[in-house]
Amino acid sequence: MKSNDQIKLINDTINKTKENLKPLGFNLVFWGIFINILSAIHYFLGSVIFQKILYVWIYWITFPLLGMIYMIRWNIKRGIKIGYETIIGRVVGIIWAVFGFGWLLIVIISMTTKSFHPTPMILFLLGLVLIMNGLIIKFKPLTAGGIVMFIFIYSIISNPDANYLIVNMVAVTFGMLIPGFFLYKYKTN
């Protein structure tokens, strides 16, 4: 096989993987919308609903866990429907599973020590995961979304009085939701 044929085969495989990763686009859109709704409800109704810090923790743990259960079931059904799993698809799945574990650890440590707000660390972890996924599948909008997350982390660090809910909504919109929509609508040549 000539080197040009090998390069074409590699590029075709990457394009096919991008097509097969449309569910990743759906996952990003789902989580982008879901987290924005949770953040908006907390922002606008927080003083009414969250009279105690315990209610905030219950809210920010219960609903994301329910979202995880829903998306895990959806992804399993989608995988069964496709009938096979690519190595790149498996790597992406493992990365997101590690993110879920990291998210849970950050939340539990933050809740038990009461020494830090979990949002910057979660956005940092999310930024890393988005960059890794974007680089692995060679999808620049997703890589850019991860970089956007780091910009918002910098804004939180440089302005500690910033409203974490608003920063979270904007970061998730530009870092996950928009790149996820582009990935979901991606068409291979």
DSSP string for residues in the chain: --HHHHHHHHHHHHHHHHHHTHHHHHHHHHHHHHHHHHHHHHHHHHHHH-SSHHHHHHHHHHHHHHHHHHHHHHHHHHHHHH----HHHHHHHHHHHHHHHHHHHHHHHHHHH--S-HHHHHHHHHHHHHHHHHHHHT-HHHHHHHHHHHHHHHHHHH-TTS-HHHHHHHHHIIIIIHHHHHHHH----
Q: What is the pLDDT of residues 35-88, one digit of tens each?
A: 999 999 989 988 877 777 778 788 888 999 999 999 999 988 887 887 767 788
Q: Is the pLDDT reported for residue 112 higher than 80?
A: yes
The confidence band for 17, taking pLDDT boundaries of 50, 70 and 90, is low
pLDDT at 67: 94
pLDDT at 188: 54
Rounded CA Rg of the chain:
18
* Higher pLDDT among residues 21 and 128, named by residue: 128
pLDDT at 96: 92
- For the chain, the domains span 3-185
Nearest to 24 by CA among 126, 137, 187: 137
Q: What is the pLDDT of residues 146-174, one digit of tens each?
A: 999 999 999 888 988 888 889 999 999 99
pLDDT at 141: 95
Q: What is the pLDDT of residues 122-138, one digit of tens each?
A: 999 999 999 999 999 88
Q: Is the pLDDT reported for residue 189 higher than 60?
A: no
Q: Is the pLDDT reported for residue 180 higher than 60?
A: yes
Measured between alpha carbons, how far is 185 from 166 in angstroms, rounded to an integer?
27
